[in-house]
Amino acid sequence: MTDLFAKLALDPSREAMAEGAVLLRGFALPVEDQILPALRSVVAGAPFRHMVTPGGYTMSVAMSNCGAAGWVTDRSGYRYDRKDPETGRPWPALPQCFLALATAAAGEAGYPHFRPDACLINRYAPGARLSLHQDKDERDFLQPIVSVSLGLPATFQFGGPNRSDPVRKYALRHGDVVVWGGPSRLFFHGVPELKDGHHETLGRMRINLTFRSAL
């Protein structure tokens, strides 16, 4: 583990997105050799699925979770659940290398006390999208969210506190990490349709890990 922290301490290149939100370019690259196998083992235990929104719409993004709680949606609403509704079993544990990456990124961004208990895993095939939303199902909005992008690049739309606020666009690439909290914690954001392409390790997909303190 000391090794992992040593690698992650390499000076990241930062971009400020808003007050409380920072983009750490390539922050996950030094540990991708640990993250990708751990991800495979998590989704072997909790396979990707297309969840249904309360409005009855099937999401184009496929999702899974690991950690003490997982984010789920169905006809009854959005919530964090300690069990995978598909299997009735607890979600796979948060791999140590996931936890190390998320806490190191949060520390780097000025949130040294972040202890995530949930990791939502989003899988985008070309054409998949996530419409503008706020992340507001977590209990404590003082905790940030740490977001790790893997595979194909995506455009990330980052708005403001109101749905109608103008959005800024960021290209998120393999290995980029966004840490976001404080005054922008509840800002609207989304991902427009993923463009087709081929990534050398993940192929025709984008994976996004979002770490949250949910419970």
Residues that bind Fe ion (CB under 5 A): 135
Among 22, 62, 130, 214, binds ligand MD6 (CB under 6 A): 130
Number of residues that bind ligand MD6 (CB under 6 A): 12
SS3 (DSSP) at 138: coil
Q: Which amino acid is at 60?
A: S
Angle between helices 32-45 and 96-108 (to 10 degrees): 130
Q: How far is the CB of 187 from ligand MD6 (least distance, A)?
A: 9
Helix (H) or strand (E) holding 141: none
Nearer to ligand MD6 by C-beta: 3 or 102? 102
Residue nearest to Fe ion (CB): 135
**Dihedral angle computed from the Cα positions of residues 206, 42, 145 and 137, in that order, rounded to the nearest 10 degrees:** 100
**Residue 189 Cβ vs Fe ion, minimum distance, rounded to whole Å:** 6
Answer whether 46's CB lies under 8 Å from 66's CB: yes
- Residue 208 touches which of Fe ion, ligand MD6, none (Cβ within 5-8 Å per kind): ligand MD6
Taking CB under 6 A as the rule, does residue 43 contact ligand MD6?
no
Q: Residue from 99, 178, 194, 214 that binds ligand MD6 (CB under 6 A)?
A: 178
Binding of ligand MD6 at residue 143 (CB under 6 A)? Answer: no
Select from ligand MD6, Fe ion, none the partner in contact with residue 38, using the beta carbon and a kind-dependent cut-off of 5 to 8 Å. none
Any contact of residue 24 with ligand MD6 (CB under 6 A)? no
Binds 191: which of Fe ion, ligand MD6, none (CB < 5-8 Å by kind): ligand MD6
Taking the C-alpha atoms of residue 72 and residue 63, their distance in angstroms, rounded to an integer, is 9
Kindly give the residue spans of alpha helices, DSSP state H, lying in 46-125: 96-108
Cα atoms in the 13 Å half-sphere on the side-chain side of 72: 19
**The one among 28, 63, 101, 191 contacting ligand MD6 by CB under 6 A:** 191
In the complex, which residues of this chain contact ligand MD6 (CB under 6 A)? 122, 130, 135, 145, 147, 156, 178, 180, 189, 191, 208, 210
